[in-house]
Chain A
C-alpha cells in the first residue's frame, strides 16, 4: 500500500514535469496558477482542516505577500528576501489577529478575518503612495535563479513547481513531526488533546499564523507570475474561493487542497461547453457535495474505499496516529 502511494506520487510528479511541454502558453499559465493557489489553500487547510477555524483572510495574506514581493523586487531587492519579509509579515499579522479572536470564542475568527480582508483591501486601494492604488503595480519582475532569467512562462512554471514541492514537504514535515502532531491531535479530538497537556489555544493560533504565512508565500509567487498586482485580486471573494478549494477537496486531508484548487481553477475549462451556466452548475455541485458528503471529495473517496474494504465505518487514514497521542 505504501509502495503504491509512493508510486502514485512519483507518477503525479512526473506528470507535473512533463505537463508544460504538452501545453501552449495558456495551459502552462493555468498550471502555474493552480500551483500558486494550492500553496494558499494548503495554508488554509492547516487553519481549517487541522485547527477547525474558518479564516476568510487568506486572500488578504496573499495580498500582503504579493505587495511585499512587488515593492521589494521592483526596488531591486532579491525575490527571496521579499518572500522572507512577506511570510514574516503574514505570520505576525496572523498572531495579532488570531490572538484576541481566539481568546473569546471559536467561531469569531471567521468574523475578524472577514473584517480584516475588507480593511486590507481598502488600504491597498486607497494608499496610492505605497500600493499604486486602484491601478496596482505593473511590471513586477520575475526572479532569476543562478543567472538564469525566468521571464519565460515554462521556466517560471518549474520555479513555481520547485517552491511548491518545498512548501508541500515542509507541510508534510510540519504535521508529521513529533512537535507537529499536536496539529493532528487538535484535528482528531481537541478535548482529548487538551487533557493530554496540549495548549490547544496556542496550537490553534500557530496553525492560523503558519497558514497565513503560506498565504504570503502564495502571494509572493503570484506577483511575478501575473507581473501585475492590484487590490481586486485580494478581495473577500478570493478568500471564499480559496475556502471552497479546501472544503471541496477535503479539509484535513493532506491532498485535499491540491485536488480542490485543481477543480476550482480547471473547472471553468471542463464546463466550457456549459457557457454561461457553468457557474450555476458549479455552485449546484458544491451544494450537492456538501449535502451528500461534507468532508469533501477525498472524504467521499476514503469513505468509498473503506466501504469496499470492509463493512466497518469509514475512518481517516491517520486516525490511528491521532489516537496514539
Chain B
C-alpha cells in the first residue's frame, strides 16, 4: 500500500515537472505501422513508446521531457523517405527507424544530407557500408552475425556443404551475400542456392531443390511467415539435414506458426527475450504486462534504439546533432550504466554495433539458449 502511494506521488511529481518545464525534446519515429511490415513496425514502436515513458518518468534527457512523433511508412520506401523529411520539418532532433532495410536504404539519404542522427532497426549490411556518418544500428548487420553462424557450421557441426534458402529482397540478399562470402572463406561448399519471394506461399519447389542437394546443413534466411511455411514443407518432405538460421528463423512467431515443424532447429540470435539476463527478463515482463503480447527481437531493437538515443544525447551534453553523432561513433554503453540497454553494446566508426549474442535451439515450443557468443 505504502509503495503504491509513493509510486503515485513520484509519478505525480514527475508529471508536474514534465508539465512545468515547457522544454521538450522532439524525436521522430518513422516505422512500418501498416502494410506487410505492420507486425514488425508495431512491436518496434510499442517498445519505443514504453521506453519514452520510462525515460520521462525518470526525469527525461538533459532535463527535458521526450516527445515522440510517430509516422507510418505503410512499409513503402518512397513514403518513408517523404516521412523522414516530414519528421525533420516537424523539428525532430533525431530519427528512429525504419526497420525494413528497403526503406532505410532510401530514407537514410535524407538524414545524411541534413546531418540528422538516425538509429535504425535494419539488418542489411549495405546500410553501414555506404559511408553515412549519421546512421546507427540497434541490432547486428548480417555481416556481423554471419561469421558467428559460419563458425558454428564449421566447428560445431563440421559441415562441408550447405544449402541456402533466402528471401530475395534487401534483407535477404544482404544476408545471403554475407553468408556465402563466409562459406567461401571457410571452404564450405554452397550446393543449393534457392531464392524466394516475399509473401511466397508455396515452398514445395524450394524444398525439393534443397533436399536433392543433400547438403550437410540447410541455412534459412527468410521472414517469419515464410520461414514457417518452409519449415512445414521441409518436415513434409522428410528432410533430415540440420536446419540452421539467423534471428528471424528462431522467432517465437515461427515456432507458433510452424506447428511443431520448428522442433530441433538451431541458430544464432542477436537479441532474444529468452536470454537469461535479468535486464532482458525484466524488460520482457514490463512489455507483456503493458501490451498483452510477448516482446520479440523487433521490440528489443526499438527499446535499445530509444535508450541509445537518450544515452547519446545525455553524453553529448547539449542539443547538437553533430556532437551526438560523434558521441555515438565508438561509443560503448554498459548495462551497469544503463540497465535498459539490455546488453553491453558498442558502435564502431560506421555505426555498426557489436554485442554479445546467443546460440539457441528450439525444443518443442521453447527456445533454449545453448551458448553465449562473445562480441566480435
Answer whether A and B touch in the complex at a CB cut-off of 8 Å: yes
What 0/1 readout, one digit per residue, does chain B (50-89) give for beta carbons within 8 Å of chain A?
A: 0000000000000000000000101001110110011011
Residue of A nearest to B79 (CB): A268
Q: Which residues from chain A contact B340 at a C-beta distance below 8 Å?
A: none
Whether the Cβ atoms of A230 and B173 lie closer than 8 Å is no
Whether the Cβ atoms of A26 and B33 lie closer than 8 Å is no
Q: Which residues from chain A contact B89 at a C-beta distance below 8 Å?
A: 24-27
- Residue in B34, B77, B78, B82 whose Cβ sees the most chain A Cβ within 10 Å: B78
Known: A25-B89, A125-B168. A30 touches B78 (CB 8 A): no
Residue of A nearest to B78 (CB): A233
Known: A232-B77, A276-B34. A135 touches B72 (CB 8 A): no
Whether the Cβ atoms of B106 and A276 lie closer than 8 Å is no
The answer, yes or no, to whether A133 is at the interface (CB within 8 Å) is yes
Known: A33-B82, A276-B72, A279-B34. A138 touches B88 (CB 8 A): no
- Residue in A26, A226, A279 whose Cβ sees the most chain B Cβ within 10 Å: A26
Whether the Cβ atoms of B170 and A135 lie closer than 8 Å is yes
Whether the Cβ atoms of A138 and B109 lie closer than 8 Å is yes
Whether the Cβ atoms of B102 and A226 lie closer than 8 Å is no
The answer, yes or no, to whether B105 is at the interface (CB within 8 Å) is yes
CA distance A276 to B126 in the complex (A): 31
Query: Which residue of A29, A133, A275 is within 8 Å of B82 (Cβ)?
Result: A29
Known: A276-B33, A279-B34, A279-B74. A25 touches B168 (CB 8 A): no
CA distance A29 to B114 in the complex (A): 15
A residues 200-235 with Cβ under 8 Å of B? 226-228, 230, 232-233
Residue of B nearest to A237 (CB): B76
Residue of B nearest to A272 (CB): B72
A residues 217-270 with Cβ under 8 Å of B? 226-228, 230, 232-233, 268
Q: Which residues from chain A contact B34 at a C-beta distance below 8 Å?
A: 276, 279
The answer, yes or no, to whether A134 is at the interface (CB within 8 Å) is yes
Residue of B nearest to A265 (CB): B82
Residue of A nearest to B83 (CB): A26
Q: Shortest distance in angstroms between A39's beta carbon and chain B's nearest beta carbon?
A: 16
Q: Shortest distance in angstroms between A211's beta carbon and chain B's nearest beta carbon?
A: 22
What 0/1 readout, one digit per residue, does chain A (7-31) give for beta carbons within 8 Å of chain B?
A: 0000000000000000011110110
CA distance A279 to B36 in the complex (A): 14
The answer, yes or no, to whether B214 is at the interface (CB within 8 Å) is no
CA distance A134 to B198 in the complex (A): 13
Q: Which residues from chain B contact A134 at a C-beta distance below 8 Å?
A: 102, 168-170, 173
Q: Which residues from chain A contact B86 at a C-beta distance below 8 Å?
A: 26
Q: Which residues from chain A contact B72 at a C-beta distance below 8 Å?
A: 275-276
CA distance A25 to B170 in the complex (A): 28
What 0/1 readout, one digit per residue, does chain B (92-107) give for beta carbons within 8 Å of chain A?
A: 0000000000100110
The answer, yes or no, to whether B130 is at the interface (CB within 8 Å) is yes
Q: Which residues from chain B contact A228 at a C-beta distance below 8 Å?
A: 81, 105-106, 109
Query: Which residue of A26, A29, A33, A226 is within 8 Å of B106 (Cβ)?
Result: A226
Residue of B nearest to A238 (CB): B78
CA distance A1 to B236 in the complex (A): 73
Q: Which residues from chain A contact B79 at a C-beta distance below 8 Å?
A: 268
CA distance A230 to B86 in the complex (A): 22
Whether the Cβ atoms of B102 and A230 lie closer than 8 Å is yes
Whether the Cβ atoms of B130 and A138 lie closer than 8 Å is yes
Query: Which residue of B74, B77, B88, B173 is within 8 Å of A133 (Cβ)?
Result: B173
CA distance A146 to B193 in the complex (A): 51
Whether the Cβ atoms of A30 and B82 lie closer than 8 Å is yes
Q: Shortest distance in angstroms between B171's beta carbon and chain A's nearest beta carbon?
A: 9
Residue of B nearest to A222 (CB): B78
Q: Which residues from chain B contact A26 at a C-beta distance below 8 Å?
A: 82, 85-86, 88-89
Q: Shortest distance in angstroms between A165's beta carbon and chain B's nearest beta carbon?
A: 23
Residue of A nearest to B82 (CB): A29
Whether the Cβ atoms of B77 and A230 lie closer than 8 Å is yes
Whether the Cβ atoms of A232 and B102 lie closer than 8 Å is yes
Q: Which residues from chain B contact A233 at a C-beta distance below 8 Å?
A: 77-78
Query: Which residue of B78, B88, B126, B168 is within 8 Å of A226 (Cβ)?
Result: B78
Residue of B nearest to A125 (CB): B168
CA distance A227 to B109 in the complex (A): 9
Q: Which residues from chain B contact A227 at a C-beta distance below 8 Å?
A: 109
Q: Which residues from chain B contact A125 at a C-beta distance below 8 Å?
A: 168
Whether the Cβ atoms of B169 and A25 lie closer than 8 Å is no
Residue of B nearest to A28 (CB): B85
CA distance A151 to B82 in the complex (A): 16
What 0/1 readout, one digit per residue, does chain B (292-328) give for beta carbons within 8 Å of chain A?
A: 0000000000000000000000000000000000000
Residue of A nearest to B124 (CB): A135
CA distance A30 to B85 in the complex (A): 10
Q: Which residues from chain A contact B33 at a C-beta distance below 8 Å?
A: 276
Residue of B nearest to A126 (CB): B168
Whether the Cβ atoms of B85 and A29 lie closer than 8 Å is yes
A residues 165-212 with Cβ under 8 Å of B? none
Q: Shortest distance in angstroms between A66's beta carbon and chain B's nearest beta carbon?
A: 12
Q: Shortest distance in angstroms between B33's beta carbon and chain A's nearest beta carbon?
A: 7
Q: Which residues from chain A contact B78 at a C-beta distance below 8 Å?
A: 33, 226, 233
Q: Shortest distance in angstroms between A98's beta carbon and chain B's nearest beta carbon?
A: 28
A-B contact pairs, 11 of them (CB 8 A): A26-B82, A26-B86, A26-B88, A27-B89, A134-B102, A135-B170, A228-B81, A228-B106, A232-B102, A233-B78, A279-B74
Q: Which residues of B are interface residues toward A (Cβ below 8 A)?
A: 33-34, 72, 74, 77-79, 81-82, 85-86, 88-89, 102, 105-106, 109, 126, 130, 168-170, 173
The 3 closest A-B pairs by CB, nearest first: A24-B89, A26-B86, A26-B89
Other 4 A-B pairs with CB < 8 A, given A25-B85, A228-B109, A268-B79:
A134-B168, A138-B105, A228-B81, A228-B105
